[in-house]
Structure 1
């Protein structure tokens, strides 16, 4: 599947998650930057993928893809936002072939030619039989990702599935491992690999006859759908960082209305690309817990240090390699500028002083606990029995403001004075919203 198509469906699902089906076909297509015909075709394809994945939707729920986001509200991002990875990471023929290879290698050790004979017998009649070169390529891939191993160094090489860990665990140990992976996949970043491992462990539990209630002990309500979708770019970016290669991509700023630009081959519908093609040396990836966003930080020869929201990246492609010395110099410079950034702000530093009020009538000081866990390098000093002070120096104040605002009446900004005035004005506006319309209310 073409990379352009993958980008399109990522952005399609992102808008679907954000709007919940509130847009009409025309509005959705315009916001995505595609025609209504392409919208219909993409929606039809996504429905087919979801039905093929057997996600358990009823006929009524399957009528609208948006229902897939409402169904199993507490099942994290899992049915709709992860099936794209499963369905598009491999072609249909590859997914069936690899599943059969893994099934055979779990039972016994086999060589490439023996696997070819096995697949010729087991593959569906409508799929072409693989040749030996294809089988050897599959075995090399599975060995690289660590799911099979060579039995010995004698030729012809014989392979065996690496299932020792799961096979040696008792039922209770396997359940404990599943619970551990389930919690981490839903609470840590990145998450996609954890979700896929969770699915593998769930299948292992099912193979032992352990029922679904064993695996449904935790319930989650997921808020940041874009976080999972943007992980599609993570591994491409990390690979470029590891190999010190520049990245070329088309960037569509989230501030603009359009989320995607199709590559039109029909000259009657060809139009100017609205995004910007950028070439940067990728240096860091930063995650913003406040909004569930990923950021790419890199160096551009023309503009210096640049920062991009990963939801706007499309058509990523690694280009030429740079020297170790240049990469180290650019990375050191970026880390120095970001050293006191709340997230990625590199404007001039400000000292912030805040008074926090301890909660009344409870032994657990959840306000102080939250400040200590989320306040980064800021310092906390007890002021009275009812209050404590928090001080921090950060680049700019735009990024720290939402965090301070989230404490509501438990937080009073003391410095800088103009930030205090801003908060006073904001709370006055909020108070005005709740004033009674009539005096007798």
Structure 2
């Protein structure tokens, strides 16, 4: 699948997950910035891809939104995972690589022996590979850690890298699966963990374990953007390691457009609604409260820039910069973000809040949450029923939703204007529901 097409599918799935059935075809296509014809074509493609991985019922076939959520508690296949499986491989490459791995499962083969075996086993619908293609596949699979080169000189012999799984007992394999299952569903980033989880699930099936064994822990993760945005992480982290600039088309979430096609035909070229960006990537920040990824970079003219990962499309690596230049930009960015709740770089503000302990015996979940999520803020006792939380942050716009989420258990003491803002917001919310209350 082409890179541009992958961007389109990611944004398609994001909008589908967020909007559900709220949009009709025309509204959905308009929001994505594509034609209705392209919408229908993409929908068919995703249905075919999903059905090939997990058979769906007739009802689920008719509704992709239901098909993607065919089992509410099964998060082994998040929305991004099945796109990863088909992203960069042509159908012939997928068949050839699968055949290569199968042939190397229980024996060592040279490139020429593998060529003969592939020629005999390749389906009639696909062309037989040549030696250059086989050697390229072996190099790719070895770099990915799927196969390993045997001992001895030329001609090199290869076999599947199954030492880890084969060396584990049944109980050890179960323990490893449970650990990976928990970590993939609770930590970030997670896609590589989901891929490992699938591999271990297949290994358990090969040893004769029933499918129910792998369903001890049941999860449902609601932040689809967190998973979908991981599509960019590998390329961005590689660019950071190599100190390379990144070129991409950025669609600001404020603009209401999720995707813009890459115009390659001059007859149909039109002005893009996004902005062409060229930045030196410095940091990646994850916002746990909203499940969002941010790219922090340095723009040659505008200085430090912050990009929501969901707006990045057509990502490509550019030229490298000197290590001294990269280090200076990185140090400057860290200094600016030192007191940021997430990514704010506004004027520092001192916030003091009074928290009320739960009026019941047992765990103090208010205190535990403040201590776990309060970052560098300080907590001090005020009375038996209250404690104070104090922190200095860059602006209040990112910390305000966190404070507001405590409801009546939190009272803002400083700054006074923030207290007034929250009072006005609660009054507005009460106005929305006042008529509803009168009907009870």
Q: Write the mapping of 1:316-335 to structure 2, written as runs, cut at 5 A.
A: 316-335=315-334
User: What is the aligned partner in structure 2 of residue 14 from structure 1?
Assistant: 14
Native 8 Å contact 2:80 2:231 kept in 1? no
Given the alignment of the two structures, is residue 374 of structure 1 paired with residue 373 of structure 2, yes or no? yes
C-alpha distance after superposition, 1:164-185 (max 9, x if no partner): 1111111111111001001110
| 1:295 counterpart residue number | 294
Counterparts of 1:41-440 in structure 2, within 5 Å, are 41-53=41-53, 55-76=54-75, 78=77, 80-264=79-263, 269-436=268-435
Question: In the aligned structure 2, how far is the partner of 1:352 from the partner of 1:306?
Answer: 26
Question: Which position in structure 1 is the counterpart of 2:38?
Answer: 38
The Cα shift of 1:439 comes to 6.5
* C-alpha distance in 1 between matches for 2:187 and 2:310: 19
The secondary structure found in structure 2 opposite 1:384 is: coil
Whether the aligned pair in 2 keeps the contact of 1:31 and 1:259 (CA below 8 Å) is yes
Cα distance in 2 between the residues matched to 1:375 and 1:310: 24
Distance 2:218 2:288 in 1: 20
CA distance in 2, matches of 1:434, 1:22: 23
- Most deviating of 368-377 and 98-107: 98-107
Cα pair distance change 1:77/1:223, threshold 3 Å? farther
Indicate the larger mover: 163-172 or 64-73: 64-73
CA contact under 8 A between 1:17 and 1:69: conserved in structure 2?
no
Q: Secondary structure at the match of 2:105?
A: helix
CA RMSD of aligned residues (A): 1.5
- Residue by residue over 1:306-359, the C-alpha shift from the partner in whole angstroms, topping out at 9 and shown as x without a partner, is 000010001111111100000000000000000110000011100000111111
Is 2:358–2:364's contact at 8 Å kept on the other side of the alignment? yes
Deviates more, 1:77-86 or 1:408-417: 77-86
Bigger shift: residues 430-439 or 123-132? 430-439
Q: Note closer, same or farther for the CA distance 1:101–1:339 as it changes in structure 2 (3 Å cut).
A: same
Structure 1, unmatched stretches of 5+, are: none
Q: 1:279 to 1:193 in 2, by over 3 A?
A: same
The number of residue pairs the alignment matches comes to 440
In 2, are the aligned partners of 1:106 and 1:161 still within 8 Å (CA)? yes
What SS does the aligned partner of 2:247 have? strand
Deviations 1:357-413 (A, max 9, x none): 111213201111111111100011011111111000000100001111111111111
Deviation at 1:120, TM superposition (A): 1.1
**Matched position secondary structure for 1:17:** helix
Q: CA deviation at 1:283?
A: 0.2
What secondary structure is seen at the aligned counterpart in 1 of 2:39?
Answer: helix
Deviations 1:104-157 (A, max 9, x none): 212111111111111111121101111111111111111111122111141000
| Alpha-carbon distance between aligned partners in 2 of 1:387 and 1:71, rounded to the nearest angstrom | 46
Equivalent position of 2:29 in the other structure: 29
Using structure 2 for the length normalisation, give the TM-score. 0.97
